[in-house]
Amino acid sequence: MKKYFPLLVLSALCLASFAQNTEHHLFVQDSLKLISSQFRFTEGASVDQQGNVFFTDQPNDNIWKYDINGKLSLYMDKSGRANGTYFDKKGNLIVCADENNEIWSIDKNKNIKVLFSDYEGKKVNGPNDIWLDAKGGIYFTDPYYQRDYWTRKSPDIEGQKVYYLPKGKKEAIVVADDVLKPNGIVGTPDGKFLYVADMDANKTYRYRIGADARLTDRQLILNQHSDGMTLDHKGNIYVTGKGVTIYKPTGEKIAHIDVPEAWCGNICFGGRQRNMLFITASKSLYAIPMNARGVE
């Protein structure tokens, strides 16, 4: 046996190294790539049908594009202080326009249409993050974060809630008022469940989506909040904050992506194969190849 021992030791070391570097076979930490650090605070990552990634730089009032060929470009200046974004089935970029607490639709020619402007005649707190269902309805979170570009100093509406705007309608409905400060949001591809992160409670809940789009059966899934969320094709939950933490649908933590920034605001899968995870992190945009695909 003695003459085989070095080979056995080498094999064991190689296996241990492989296990460490693959991070549960989802990614290799060392493959995290900084794309750019020219921003003030990045947010609102989303992907179009081709795999191009769009994200916002809210303090600078910009929307940026990082295309599938690796080109970074300014997509829109004066973006209504865009925060969370999401693409609809027609390729319109749906935007939480925080400047006047609206929701916009921006078409491929950059024409802007205001989809939502008020709730029962009052301005909402500030649409923050967004997810669209298969019917084109819009779920959005509405926490109150005082902005220096607002004239108001207090909310017009009591409470911080989750709303649903049916496609083609101007009036939204409240679908969750049992959270303290809702922020990150994402729904499952089958349209059955909606995840909502509560920043003040440091929790993430899963709701059942009804046929009328209303939410019921709130379940605590994670003892962690999230500024932005996404899902992969296996239903794993990716949440942001200090780096990116990945959980199974059951809530079991399986991995963490270390990001050398103070805060990670949002994430989405992009690229031609939807297997690149893009992370908007404070002043920067990062990307990391994943052994998983997104479901956007």
In the block, residue with structure tokens 């693959």: 22
CA angle 233, 237, 242 (to 5 degrees): 135
pLDDT classification of 287: cutoffs 50, 70, 90:
very high
Distances (CA, A) of 156 to 12, 43, 54, 124, 153: 63, 25, 31, 7, 10
Ramachandran sector of residue 213 (left: φ over 0; alpha: ψ -120 to 50; beta: rest): left
Say yes or no to pLDDT of 19 above 70.
no
Say yes or no to pLDDT of 3 above 70.
no
CB 186 within 8 A of CB 196: no
Residue 207 is predicted with a pLDDT of: 98
Say yes or no to pLDDT of 14 above 80.
no
CATH topology for 29-289 is: Neuraminidase (2.120.10)
pLDDT classification of 24: cutoffs 50, 70, 90:
low
Taking only the tens place, the pLDDT of each residue in 182-209 is: 999 999 999 999 999 999 999 999 999 9
Q: Average of pLDDT values for 112-134?
A: 97
Domain ranges of the chain: 29-289
Taking only the tens place, the pLDDT of each residue in 89-115 is: 999 999 999 999 999 999 999 999 999
Q: Average of pLDDT values for 155-179?
A: 97
pLDDT classification of 63: cutoffs 50, 70, 90:
very high
Say yes or no to pLDDT of 20 above 50.
no
In the block, residue with structure tokens 């679908």: 175
- The closest of 61, 66, 58, 25 to 42, measured between CA atoms, is 58
Taking only the tens place, the pLDDT of each residue in 203-250 is: 999 999 999 999 999 999 999 999 999 999 999 999 999 999 999 999
* Mean pLDDT over the full length of the chain: 93
pTM of the model: 0.91
pLDDT classification of 296: cutoffs 50, 70, 90:
low
CB 64 within 8 A of CB 53: no
From CA 50, how far away is CA 130, in angstroms rounded?
20
CB 278 within 8 A of CB 268: yes
Mind spelling out the 3-state secondary structure of the chain? CHHHHHHHHHHHHHHHHHHHHHCCCCCCHHHCEEEECCCCCEEEEEECCCCCEEEEEHHHCEEEEECCCCCEEEEEECCCCEEEEEECCCCCEEEEECCCCEEEEECCCCCEEEEECCECCECCCCCCCEEECCCCCEEEEECCCCCCCCCCCCCCCCCCEEEEECCCCCCCEEEECCCCCEEEEEECCCCCEEEEEECCCCEEEEEEECCCCCEEEEEEEECCCCCCEEEECCCCEEEEECEEEEECCCCCEEEEECCCCCCCCEEEEECCCCCEEEEEECCEEEEEECCCCECC
AA letter at 254: I
pLDDT classification of 15: cutoffs 50, 70, 90:
very low
